[in-house]
């Protein structure tokens, strides 16, 4: 062993001591608190799920019957009138407690909640759509801690407010006497809608966790495209950081770094990230939805403190909503080119919102993509969707029309309510604005058309003073508070205060802006009216159908399998009811011979209705520049306008959507005494197709044929040909023939359709 003289020991010891005392800066630590929750019922603590909902917790513990079975909805209404308490314990070690800052984060509390940590109140929540963060360092102890969330029933919370309010507020589709939904910032459809049940629940519906950090952290990142041309893109990156120790920090974006001397508190760090030869992000059908990965890191002396991952899609998007030669346009330009939007209205995938299932999201959005859709509208009576929804839309090239969560109601004008929605709007804009899929912010669903056309003033007995005050409050929310936040936080994205901007009342209205066309269904018009009522952008229209028998059998006993059974009547939530469907079925296909037969015919009818509408909308491009049918999906196994049921099963209409949303289709249409064919191309390049048109007897014998090659312009509708029916039918009556239309590309069939002529 080498001898070390005594005098050397001291400096070696001192060096060792100083090294061991230099505190290593720790990276931010996230402690998940989603497990081990319990909820209390009759003094007992039962297992709970987080994220979750009281109804599903009760069900999992076998404390209630299946809420979807038969008419069980009715007997489960007591749940909404109860307060519910959730609790869990967790242990913290000394190391975690040593962090300078410890924050508790609830990504979603539904809705009125008081949160206690070790018996001390640390938070009060009153909005399902907000996330909640609070510093908890001083409330924590080493070892075991207890977290408790006490939910108050929205009915109990708001009953007095409803009774004492100056006037009654219209309230979506609520059917009970005391209508609390306008006062409650909670998914409106859960109070009952015309396609869903009333289940007003509560719960910790999004993840909960602790964040422990030292010195500084990243609160959020904002990415904005500053420059985008063929050679180069520049993305502005703003990172809001929170600093508890003033010193020099480094911000890194992928390989690029920049130093900052930061003071205590919140501050925004700006950097520009350049991309050479950028690859654009395109909506589904027009190219790849290319995404760039950015990793934003906050470092101190080379040690990582916090990081944030972003996916950036390079694209521009504009809404062109302006006066034109027809009336008022409404269309989107993506990367400078007008794009016809093909899609649907999307509602929450589960009435029990905490019931979040990744696979279900993925399956649904894959179906959307493979059905050739390029846009979904997240409708305003549901929720601002989970991050995964927008991540998948980014990836699959599905643009999102995002409503703020206001639908078919009017809202109180108290300062605390307005402040609450302002915070909700701020948080959700910040959470969603980086997504390339996000196309538009829309203030609300159908409030303006309702105010102007649905007779609320008379129905609710408003005096003219009331009306002035109510309308003033409406304008304050949708033309001031919300757009001001959009302008401040997401200045480059379009905002419209409401949908639709034009009502379907008069023919002239079809020349203006966005349209919800409900003449067919609510107006009891014949389905054929889809052919002539075509707006500039069809945001809603649709026809109901029953789900597949397999789904019906999941909620109805054999003894309920008839149209007038209590179960089928209660499942039908639209005031028009099953009778309207039945009348149309009879008219189109004759009296159904059994319940199964009725369901099958109803689905054929829905498919026929959507086919007619979609073909007409597309062939009227560019008068019409978008078609979003009502509705894509369901929140329970029910009767609705959906094409995919609660279990993801496809109705017959789904095939129609897939087929008629293809980029190249031919629309053969009877116009008075003629047969006309239009070839529609949504492609952004020229193409060549061969049209094959035959008239055949119902038995299949060909009596007339036409074939021609057409060169199509990009993004076009070509009126290809027109014939006098009298000439081409010869002696055959209309009802004895069918018209077959086919498109071929390079000898391959790419589209085929049959149409039947209207008998004379």
Binding site for ligand BMA (CB under 6 A): 193-195, 408, 445-446, 516, 540, 630
Q: Which residues of 418-437 are buried (b: 16+ CB within 10 A; e: fewer)?
A: bebbeebbebbbbebbbbbb
Please say which residue, 385 or 540, places its beta carbon nearer to ligand BMA. 540
The Cα–Cα gap between 515 and 109 comes to 34
**Closest approach of ligand BMA to the CB of residue 520, in Å:** 12
Angle between helices 482-489 and 415-432 (to 10 degrees): 30
Angle between helices 358-370 and 387-396 (to 10 degrees): 30
Please say which residue, 516 or 571, places its beta carbon nearer to ligand BMA. 516
The Cα–Cα gap between 73 and 635 comes to 14
Report residue 559 as tokens.
Answer: 């003894």
Please say which residue, 377 or 601, places its beta carbon nearer to ligand BMA. 377
Please say which residue, 39 or 406, places its beta carbon nearer to ligand BMA. 406
Q: 639 near 571, Cβ under 8 Å?
A: yes
Q: Which residues contact 20 (CB under 8 A, 6 or more apart)?
A: none
**Closest approach of ligand BMA to the CB of residue 542, in Å:** 7
The Cα–Cα gap between 472 and 485 comes to 19
Greatest Cα pair distance in the chain: 121
Q: 665 near 346, Cβ under 8 Å?
A: no
**Closest approach of ligand BMA to the CB of residue 455, in Å:** 16
**Closest approach of ligand BMA to the CB of residue 347, in Å:** 8
**Closest approach of ligand BMA to the CB of residue 499, in Å:** 8
Please say which residue, 174 or 540, places its beta carbon nearer to ligand BMA. 540
Alpha helix positions (H), 350-463: 358-370, 387-396, 415-432, 447-453, 456-459
Sign of CA dihedral 509, 511, 514, 520: positive
Q: 68 near 636, Cβ under 8 Å?
A: yes
Per residue, what are the HEC states of 467-501? HHHHHHHHHHHHHHHHHHHHHHHCCCCEEECCECC
**Closest approach of ligand BMA to the CB of residue 170, in Å:** 12
**Closest approach of ligand BMA to the CB of residue 446, in Å:** 5
Q: 118 near 145, Cβ under 8 Å?
A: yes
**Closest approach of ligand BMA to the CB of residue 617, in Å:** 17
The Cα–Cα gap between 692 and 694 comes to 7
Report residue 37 as tokens.
Answer: 């929750």
557 phi/psi in degrees, rounded to 5: -70, 160
**Closest approach of ligand BMA to the CB of residue 378, in Å:** 12
Q: 321 near 496, Cβ under 8 Å?
A: yes
- Work out the end-to-end distance of the chain between its first and last CA atoms, rounded to an integer number of angstroms: 113
Return the bridge partners of 267, or none: 241
**Closest approach of ligand BMA to the CB of residue 231, in Å:** 44
Please say which residue, 56 or 445, places its beta carbon nearer to ligand BMA. 445
Please say which residue, 515 or 675, places its beta carbon nearer to ligand BMA. 515
**Closest approach of ligand BMA to the CB of residue 149, in Å:** 31
**Closest approach of ligand BMA to the CB of residue 73, in Å:** 17
The Cα–Cα gap between 332 and 518 comes to 23
Element (H, E) at 727: helix 725-729
The Cα–Cα gap between 225 and 238 comes to 12
Return the bridge partners of 204, or none: none
Please say which residue, 253 or 609, places its beta carbon nearer to ligand BMA. 609
**Closest approach of ligand BMA to the CB of residue 752, in Å:** 32
**Closest approach of ligand BMA to the CB of residue 574, in Å:** 6
Report residue 756 as tokens.
Answer: 């039947």
Distances (CA, A) of 577 to 54, 530, 582, 615: 30, 21, 9, 27
667 phi/psi in degrees, rounded to 5: -110, 115
Per residue, what are the HEC states of 56-112? HHHHHCCCCCCCCCCCHHHHCHHHHHCCEEEEEEEEECHHHHCCCEEEEEECCCECE
Please say which residue, 380 or 397, places its beta carbon nearer to ligand BMA. 380
**Closest approach of ligand BMA to the CB of residue 346, in Å:** 12
The Cα–Cα gap between 680 and 691 comes to 12
Please say which residue, 315 or 584, places its beta carbon nearer to ligand BMA. 584
- Give the strand pairing for 337-339 and 341-346: unpaired
The Cα–Cα gap between 362 and 243 comes to 38
**Closest approach of ligand BMA to the CB of residue 376, in Å:** 14
- Give the strand pairing for 132-135 and 101-106: antiparallel
Cα angle 720, 723, 724; round to 5: 160
Please say which residue, 630 or 751, places its beta carbon nearer to ligand BMA. 630
**Closest approach of ligand BMA to the CB of residue 345, in Å:** 7
**Closest approach of ligand BMA to the CB of residue 459, in Å:** 17
Element (H, E) at 582: helix 577-589
Provide the CA 385 distance to its chain's centre, in angstroms: 6
């Amino acid at each position: 062993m080498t001898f070390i003289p005594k005098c050397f020991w001291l400096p070696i010891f001192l060096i060792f001591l100083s090294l061991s005392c230099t505190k290593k800066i720790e990276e931010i630590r996230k402690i998940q608190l989603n497990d081990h929750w319990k909820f209390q019922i009759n003094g007992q603590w039962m297992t709970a799920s987080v994220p979750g909902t009281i109804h599903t917790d009760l069900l999992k513990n076998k404390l209630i019957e299946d809420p979807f079975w038969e008419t069980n909805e009715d007997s489960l209404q007591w749940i909404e009138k109860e307060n519910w308490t959730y609790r869990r314990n967790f242990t913290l070690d000394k190391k975690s407690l040593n962090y300078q800052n410890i924050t508790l984060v609830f990504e979603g509390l539904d809705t009125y909640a008081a949160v206690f940590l070790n018996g001390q109140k640390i938070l009060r929540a009153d909005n399902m759509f907000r996330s909640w963060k609070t510093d908890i360092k001083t409330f924590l102890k080493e070892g075991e801690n207890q977290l408790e969330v006490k939910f108050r029933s929205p009915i109990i919370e708001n009953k007095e407010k409803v009774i004492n309010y100056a006037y009654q507020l219209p309230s979506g589709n609520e059917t009970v006497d005391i209508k609390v939904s306008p006062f409650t910032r909670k998914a409106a459809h859960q109070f009952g809608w015309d396609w869903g049940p009333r289940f007003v629940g509560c719960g910790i519906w999004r993840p909960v966790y602790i964040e422990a950090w030292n010195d500084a952290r990243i609160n959020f990142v904002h990415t904005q495209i500053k420059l985008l041309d063929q050679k180069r893109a520049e993305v502005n990156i703003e990172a809001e950081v929170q600093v508890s120790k003033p010193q020099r920090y480094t911000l890194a974006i992928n390989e690029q770094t920049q130093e900052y001397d930061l003071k205590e508190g919140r501050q925004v760090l700006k950097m520009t990230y350049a991309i050479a030869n950028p690859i654009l992000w395109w909506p589904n059908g027009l190219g790849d939805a290319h995404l760039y990965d950015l990793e934003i890191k906050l470092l101190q002396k080379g040690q990582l403190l916090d990081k944030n991952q972003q996916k950036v899609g390079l694209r521009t998007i504009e809404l062109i909503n302006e006066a034109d030669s027809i009336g008022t346009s409404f269309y989107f330009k993506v990367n400078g080119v007008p794009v016809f939007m093909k899609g649907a209205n999307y509602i929450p995938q589960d009435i029990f919102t905490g019931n979040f299932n990744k696979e279900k999201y993925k399956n649904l959005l894959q179906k959307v993509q493979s059905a050739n859709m390029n846009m979904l509208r997240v409708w305003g009576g549901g929720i601002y969707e989970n991050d995964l929804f927008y991540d998948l839309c980014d990836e699959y090239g599905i643009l999102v029309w995002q409503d703020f969560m206001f639908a078919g109601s009017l809202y109180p004008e108290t300062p605390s309510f307005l402040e609450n929605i302002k915070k909700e709007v701020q948080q959700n804009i910040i959470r969603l604005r980086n997504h390339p899929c996000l196309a538009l912010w829309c203030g609300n669903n159908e409030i303006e058309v309702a105010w102007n056309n649905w007779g609320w003033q008379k129905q609710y007995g408003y005096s003219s003073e009331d009306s002035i005050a109510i309308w003033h409050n409406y304008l304050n929310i949708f033309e001031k508070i919300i757009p001001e936040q959009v302008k401040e936080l997401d200045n480059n994205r379009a905002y419209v205060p409401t949908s639709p901007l034009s009502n379907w009342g008069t023919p002239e209205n079809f020349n203006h802006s966005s349209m919800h066309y409900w003449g067919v269904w609510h107006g009891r018009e014949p389905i054929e009216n889809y052919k002539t009522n075509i707006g500039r952008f069809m945001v809603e229209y649709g026809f109901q159908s029953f789900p597949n028998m397999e789904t019906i059998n999941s909620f109805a006993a054999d003894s309920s399998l008839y149209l007038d059974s209590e179960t089928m009547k209660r499942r039908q939530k639209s005031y028009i009811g099953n009778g309207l469907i039945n009348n149309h079925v009879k008219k189109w296909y004759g009296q159904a011979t059994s319940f199964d037969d009725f369901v099958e015919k109803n689905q054929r009818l829905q498919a026929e209705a959507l086919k007619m509408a979609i073909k007409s909308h597309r062939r009227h491009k560019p008068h019409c520049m978008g078609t979003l049918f009502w509705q894509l999906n369901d929140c329970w196994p029910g009767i609705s306008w959906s094409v995919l049921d609660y279990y993801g099963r496809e109705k017959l209409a789904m095939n129609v959507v897939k087929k008629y949303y293809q980029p190249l289709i031919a629309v053969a249409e009877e116009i008075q005494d003629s047969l006309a064919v239009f070839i529609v191309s949504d492609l952004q390049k020229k193409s060549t197709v061969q049209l094959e048109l035959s008239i055949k007897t119902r038995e299949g014998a060909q009596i007339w044929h036409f074939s021609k090659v057409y060169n199509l312009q990009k993004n076009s509708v070509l009126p290809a040909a027109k014939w006098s029916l009298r000439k081409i039918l010869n002696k055959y009556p209309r009802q004895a023939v069918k018209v077959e239309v086919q498109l071929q590309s390079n000898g391959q069939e790419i589209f085929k359709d049959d149409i039947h002529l209207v008998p004379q």
